[in-house]
Amino acid sequence: MRNPRLTVDGVVIRRGHLLLVQRGREPFRGRWALPGGFVEYGETVEAAVVREVREEAGLETRVIRLLGVYSHPERDPRGHTVSVVFLLEVVGGTLRGGDDAARATWFSLDDLPQLAFDHDTIVRDALRHLQE
């Protein structure tokens, strides 16, 4: 039996800017994305998203709240993945690209690039939730 793989993504917004990482690997190599990745066996999704942001962007974060679960079977060209997405806040660290992220930077919410995967949808949902 085949099952979807579990992933996490982190939405970090600070002073009108969104944290994005430039993908260093396929799929979507060179495109911008939310920091995130696969949950390791024995790891909670909350710990996984904090770890992924640390590994890919060099920032220490804490979970503010669950934003949503994104599970469309075609959201990732590698196969069916389900992503648990969290809104995070920065509590420390130094911004730098790392792990499978070529770069990490802050983009103005008014001037975002086209994003990899379904991250455009996730960011729209996050902004809508923040306005509520």
Q: Is the pLDDT of residue 117 over 90?
A: yes
Which tens digits make up the pLDDT trace of 63-108?
Answer: 999 999 999 999 999 999 999 999 999 999 999 988 777 899 999 9
Question: What's the whole-model pTM score?
Answer: 0.95
pLDDT at 131: 85
Residue spans of beta strands (DSSP E) within 53-126: 59-70, 81-93, 101-108
Domains in the chain, CATH or no CATH each: 5-131 (3.90.79.10)
Express each pLDDT in 33-63 by its tens digit.
999 999 999 999 999 999 999 999 999 999 9
